Amino acid sequence: MELVKLEIKGFKSFGDKVIINFDNGITGIVGPNGCGKSNVVDAIRWVLGEQKTRMLRSEKMENIIFNGTKNRKALQMAEVSLTFNNTKNLLPTEYSQVTITRRYYRSGESEYLLNNVTCRLKDITNLFLDTGIASNSYAIIELKMVDDILNDKDNSRRALFEEAAGISKFKIRKKETLRKLSGTDDDLERVEDLLFEIE
Ligand code: ATP
């Protein structure tokens, strides 16, 4: 599976639409300090579903929308699309090319799309489970993460190995199932209370 292209519009410093094509080999992004290199990585992390604004180097989600310059008005929406080549069928879908899109409006509304069809964030995270591609996976390594891995902050080394070994998918499902079980326990308790009242 390869990255084909990244399209950014209205995200952070990208007021104009920018398309980055990932051709064969290594793609390097160079530029002076503060020109927006890290914003490209933030855009990839964001389109993969990152919810923590801290991970996007932002205080609140609204700040990821292009907020204008001296000569340009702020935009109302940020949109990022990431396209993958899936000819080897590593993603569990029949499409040979998969594009995921995330939009965020100043009103607070957000949208996710899979090949231009509206979907849930869960559909996207499920699609990429165990591929090593996720907003918090080892596919995106920032400088700060290298420090965290070396210092083993919050068990980060273990999490890395678990993702590589394909265990994290089961951990996520277990957590989800336990949450549902706890919800069912609460419902049962309520039923028992009602029965007690009726009796
Ligand atoms: P360095 O090399 O110093 O790490 P960089 O090239 O990685 O820098 P980034 O950190 O990606 O730069 O980008 C910082 C720039 O993005 C700043 O100029 C900041 O003003 C701009 N920026 C961040 N959020 C927004 C936004 N919502 N609207 C407009 N510009 C933004």
Per-residue pLDDT averaged across 171-183, rounded? 93
The pLDDT of residue 24? 86
The rounded percent of the chain whose pLDDT value lies above 70 is: 99
Q: How much is the pTM?
A: 0.81
Q: Which residues are annotated as a binding site for ATP?
A: 32-39
Task: Please name the residue whose Cα sits nearest to atom 24 of ligand 1.
Answer: 12
Residue tagged 């949450």 (tokens): 179
Cβ of 63 closer than 6 Å to ligand 1, yes or no, is yes
Task: Return the ligand 1 atom nearest residue 69 CA.
Answer: 29
Average pLDDT, the chain: 91
Residues in the chain: 199
Give 190's pLDDT tier (boundaries 50, 70, 90).
Answer: very high
Best residue among 13, 29, 33, 57 to mutate for probing ligand 1's pocket (most ligand atoms within 8 Å of CB) is 13
Residue tagged 């090319």 (tokens): 97
Residue 9 has pLDDT above 80, yes or no: yes
Q: What is the ipTM of this complex?
A: 0.94
Q: Report pLDDT digits (tens) over 56-72.
A: 888 999 999 999 999 99
Q: Which residues are annotated as a binding site?
A: 32-39
The first and second tokens of residue 176, run together, are 């989800």
The rounded percent of the chain whose pLDDT value lies above 90 is: 62
